[in-house]
């Protein structure tokens, strides 16, 4: 190693960074060259000085207040960004061509909305009509069904009664459920009859119930039907 | 909240605009930025300004932060760029008339390694050593030799190639050491 190379290695690197071979060459050269040995001593001092500076950290006197100041600035900036945006939007909205365009767009959207509403209403009406047809056919089907099955007839009458399509329904031979208004009308009709007619009706009624135990069910029904017709004739007359 | 989350999660939240997480980030890294800025600028007030401006810049550009690099590297990059601008914009090159006292003071610190320097003393020492360096060399010298960052980190922060960083570092070290050894003579 010559002196030039020795100086170059020490000036351009820290001693610690050198590889083992270079370190050995440096040490060996200092043994044979007094000038370079003195230079090496000064280099060691220089590196120590740099090391001292490196380990000494500056004191951050501003540390306790810096975060507060930064956060304050950031929040203010955020606010001003929002304000600027609103201002720009407002300015933009005030331009006459923009106002006109927005009005046209609003009207278009409004008309589109109403068109949708009318269209939907039309569809609902059609659906209701269709539903009406379905209901009507269901009633007819139910009627046909009730004619074949006797127990279903009773249920059908109950259904009709509650659907307000019949004035009464018969629970049993002795009990009949009748609407209040219908009962009032019947009593009114009965009261309009003269005394002879009233006596005749009451007599026929008693006749129905007096034959209840003596007649078979079928004959009782026939008799009841016959007497009922007679009563109806009296009332209609 | 912050105790339950790791550093990366908090940084991620701050990146998405969460103010409390950002405040945590400022508290955590403000000293790092101050120390490097002080060492580069050798001026406490300017270093304070860099801390302030760096974090404002981080907040504004957080969405550009790429998670593949360390957050501190990205933060240093911002701070070092601000320092570089300040170094370049100094109206006149600061020259120091080196007095015997200053030299004695500087060389004394080598004799007394336990010596605690005040900010003014420390600034003066770094200034004495590095004031004649071009800004780029000064920044590289501070980051590598005073701040102990790796060559790779310095290259990432400065945007230079590793070989270019090494070359600049060699020039900086040579200038500083030659100056010191000359004073010792």
Touching B: A residues 49-78, CB under 8 Å: 49-54, 56-63, 66-67, 69-71, 73-75, 77
Lowest average pLDDT, out of A24-28, A164-168, B156-160, goes to: A164-168
Task: Supply the pLDDT for residue B128.
Answer: 80
Per-residue confidence band for A133, with pLDDT thresholds at 50, 70 and 90: low
Q: Which of A40-44, A88-92, B111-115, B153-157 has the lowest mean pLDDT?
A: B111-115
Mean pLDDT in chain B? 84
DSSP B4: G
Are B50 and B83 in contact, with CB atoms under 8 Å apart? yes
CB atoms within 10 A of CB B115: 12
Mutate to test the interface with B, among A41, A50, A82 (most CBs of B within 10 A): A50
Question: B162-184 and B119-130 are packed helices; what angle lies between their axes, rounded to 10 degrees?
Answer: 100
3-state secondary structure of B42: coil
* Residue matched to tokens 């030039």: A4
Q: Residue A105's pLDDT is what?
A: 92
Q: In 3D, which of A1, A8, A24, A58 has the Cα closest to residue B173?
A: A8
pLDDT at A157 over 60: yes
| Helix B44-61 with B71-89: angle, nearest 10 deg | 130
| Residue-level pLDDT at A135 | 63
Band of residue A13 on the pLDDT scale cut at 50, 70, 90: confident
The answer as to whether A145 is a domain residue is no
Structural domain contains residue A188: no
* Chain centroid offset of residue B94 CA: 18
Residue contact A46–B181, C-beta within 8 A: yes
Q: How confident is the model at residue B169 (pLDDT cuts 50, 70, 90)?
A: very high
A47 domain residue, yes or no? yes
0.90 cut: is pTM over it? no
Provide the shortest C-alpha distance from residue A5 to chain B (in Å). Answer: 13
Q: Which residues fall within 8 angstroms of residue A79, CB to CB, at 6 or more apart?
A: none
Token pair 């009296």: residue: A234
Average pLDDT score over residue span B26-42: 92
- The tokens describing B100, both together, are 């015997």
Task: Enter the tokens of residue B53.
Answer: 């401006």
pLDDT of residue A169: 79
- Sequence-ordered list of residues with C-beta below 8 angstroms from that of A75, at least 6 positions apart, any chain: B19
pLDDT at A5 over 90: no
The structural domain count of chain A equals: 1
Q: Mean pLDDT across the stretch B31-53? A: 92
Note whether A176 contacts B: Cβ–Cβ < 8 A. no
Burial class of residue B12, CB neighbours in 10 A (0-12, 13-18, 19+): middle
Q: Which domain holds residue A49?
A: 3-55
Q: What local confidence, expressed as pLDDT, does residue B126 receive?
A: 84
Mutate to test the interface with A, among B34, B57, B176 (most CBs of A within 10 A): B34
More confident of the two residues A1 and A152 = A1
Domains of chain B are 1-93 (1.10.1740.10), 96-185 (1.10.10.10)
Residues A45, B146: C-beta atoms closer than 8 Å? no
What's the confidence (pLDDT) of residue B52?
A: 95
Tell me, yes or no, whether A143 lies in a domain.
Answer: no
Higher model confidence: residue A212 or residue B148? B148
Query: Is A140 within a domain?
Result: no
pLDDT of residue B74: 94
Cβ(A97)–Cβ(B86) under 8 Å? Answer: no
Q: Which of A43, A62, A67 sits opposite B26 (nearest CB)?
A: A67
């Amino acid at each position: 190693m010559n002196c030039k190379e020795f100086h170059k290695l020490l000036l351009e690197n820290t001693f610690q960074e050198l590889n083992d071979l270079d370190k050995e060459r440096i040490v060996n050269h200092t043994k044979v060259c007094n000038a370079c040995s003195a230079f090496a001593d000064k280099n060691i001092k220089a590196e120590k000085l740099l090391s001292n500076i490196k380990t000494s950290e500056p004191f951050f006197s501003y540390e306790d207040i810096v975060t507060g100041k930064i956060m304050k600035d950031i929040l203010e900036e955020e606010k001003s960004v929002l304000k600027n945006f609103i201002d720009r939007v407002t300015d933009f909205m005030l331009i006459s061509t923009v106002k006109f365009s927005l009005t046209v767009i609003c009207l278009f959207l409004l008309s589109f909305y109403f068109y949708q509403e009318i269209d939907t209403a039309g569809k609902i009406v059609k659906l209701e009509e269709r539903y009406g047809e379905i209901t009507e056919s269901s009633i007819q089907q139910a009627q046909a069904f009730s004619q074949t099955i006797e127990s279903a007839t009773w249920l059908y009458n109950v259904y009709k009664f509650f659907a307000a399509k019949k004035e009464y329904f018969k629970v049993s031979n002795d009990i009949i459920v009748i609407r209040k208004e219908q009962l009032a009308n019947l009593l009114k009709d009965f009261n309009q009859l003269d005394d002879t007619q009233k006596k005749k009706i009451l007599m026929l009624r008693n006749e129905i119930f007096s034959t209840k135990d003596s007649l078979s069910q079928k004959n009782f029904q026939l008799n009841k039907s016959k007497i009922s017709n007679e009563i109806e004739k009296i009332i209609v007359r | 909240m912050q105790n339950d989350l790791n550093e990366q999660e908090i940084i991620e939240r701050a990146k998405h605009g969460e103010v409390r997480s950002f405040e945590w980030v400022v508290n955590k890294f403000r000293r790092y930025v101050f120390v490097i800025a002080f060492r580069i600028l050798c001026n406490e007030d300017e270093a304070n300004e860099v801390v302030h401006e760096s974090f404002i810049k981080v907040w504004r550009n957080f969405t550009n932060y790429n998670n593949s690099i360390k957050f501190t590297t990205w933060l240093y990059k911002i701070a070092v760029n601000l320092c570089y601008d300040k170094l370049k914009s100094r109206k006149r090159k600061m020259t120091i008339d080196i007095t015997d006292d200053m030299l004695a003071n500087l060389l004394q610190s080598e004799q007394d390694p336990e010596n605690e320097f005040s900010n003014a003393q420390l600034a003066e020492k770094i200034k004495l050593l590095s004031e004649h360096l071009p800004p780029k060399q000064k920044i590289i010298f501070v980051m590598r030799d005073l701040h102990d960052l790796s060559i790779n980190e310095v290259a990432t922060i400065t945007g230079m190639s590793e070989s270019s960083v090494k070359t600049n570092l060699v020039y900086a070290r040579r200038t500083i050491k030659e100056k010191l050894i000359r004073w010792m003579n």
